[in-house]
Amino acid sequence: MKILGYILLVVLAGVFVMTGYNKVVGADMMVQTFDSFSYPKWTMYLIGGVELLSAVGLLIPRTRVLAAGLLTFILIGAVGSHLIYGQYGAIPFPAVLLVANIVVLIVSLRQMEDTDIEAVQA
């Protein structure tokens, strides 16, 4: 079961490497999306950078909670932006990523809690 969890984490991190990279390099699709939201262009680069760093953070146990938390906030913003601007066809992808990040966050928090309890009992 642990191996499956790590495989899913690597896949999730890979998705954020791809989406973050597309934002950082200014891929046409990302530029059009951020322009359609009337967001300043620098926000695309900032979010892309945070996605890239968080993708790495997902793979490191000590930083996993922080990375998943940051990505969760970004994805809430993505889903909300698509809803507000009526881009309903674009909602499923960030929504699935949001659910996956929340699962990672909950599992990581529980693991931290179990570790803390074991340390106290020792």
| Beta carbons of 12 and 20 less than 8 angstroms apart | no
Give the distance, in angstroms, between the CA of residue 47 and the centroid of all CA atoms in the same chain: 10
pLDDT along the chain (122 residues), means of 10: 88 97 96 95 97 97 95 97 95 96 93 69 58
C-alpha span between 11 and 96 (Å, rounded): 13
Which residue, 14, 118, 115, is CA-closest to 58?
14
Tokens linked to 60:
């490191």
User: What pLDDT shows up at residue 89?
Assistant: 95
Tokens linked to 33:
């999306």
